[in-house]
Amino acid sequence: MVTDISKVLAHAFFYFFIDPVTDLSLHIRRKLILASTNKGKVIRVALGGGSNRDDLYPSLRDPGALAVDWLADRVYIASSNRIFSCPLDRDLCVTVVDRLPKAASAVKIDPINGFLFYVLTGPNLGLHRLDLGQISHLWAPRPRQSEMALGHHRTKTARPELILSMPDLHTVTIDFASVHLFAVNNSKKAVVTTFLDGTNRRAVHDSSRLGSKSAMKDVTSMVYFNRVSEETCLIALKI
């Protein structure tokens, strides 16, 4: 699995060398790379012989952080003060989170447990969570008039919750095996882990004790993977 991902990333860096990448997400099952660039485009690269798309969602202005829902085949993209949900192959994006105080610095999706996570960096901000069940009706087929008359259709209001208050947080990553979140507390130069609801917070790595050369600072991207053994590896990337 790690070898496959390494090949995908190598291909991605080669393909996106011309336009610097803002964020990148993988759809391993469909062998797709999706990335937002500083040119204001979302690019899709097909590694399995399909066609590439150089501007997948032209309706979006200034797309930034993104994440692929590999179960529902949808892409969640931060753009300005909104977060959109879009199908993999069509520019039919719908707003799922609106009126944010600023653009989300990271968007993560947990399709197994049904949560959308996003990070807002700044005072009194941090990691927010939204139940996918509150927004799935936004792109579902419209109900028939008979169903609406019988009261079978209910519109739900999306209510994101702040689950981890951390003003200098830039990104998180999800460990699907242990069902935990990992985040970097930049001010304390430590990696912390929590449950998916932000509880049971504890430090798993404190680099402030390792000296300035080893201490993490301004970490804005991270990835988690589990080796094909009992050894678990966490990688934090500074970009």
With bands split at pLDDT 50, 70 and 90, how would you rate the model's confidence at 21?
confident
Per cent of the chain over pLDDT 90 is: 40
* β-pairing verdict for 42-46 and 32-37: antiparallel
**Is the pLDDT score of 216 beyond 70?**
no
More confident residue, 20 or 92: 92
The tokens describing 63, both together, are 């797309």
**Is the pLDDT score of 13 beyond 70?**
no
**Structural domains of the chain in order of their starting residue, each with its CATH number:** 2-237 (2.120.10.30)
pTM of the predicted model as reported, rounded to 2 decimal places: 0.78
212 contacts: CB under 8 Å, gap ≥ 6: none
Q: Is 88 helix (H, G, I), strand (E, B) or coil?
A: coil
Other CB atoms within a 10 A radius of the CB of residue 125 amount to 20
SS3 content of the chain, % helix, strand, coil (to 5): 10, 40, 50
Q: Please, are residues 129 and 196 in contact by the beta-carbon 8 Å criterion?
A: yes
Dump pLDDT digits (tens) for 70-122: 999 999 999 999 999 999 889 999 999 999 999 999 999 999 999 999 999 99
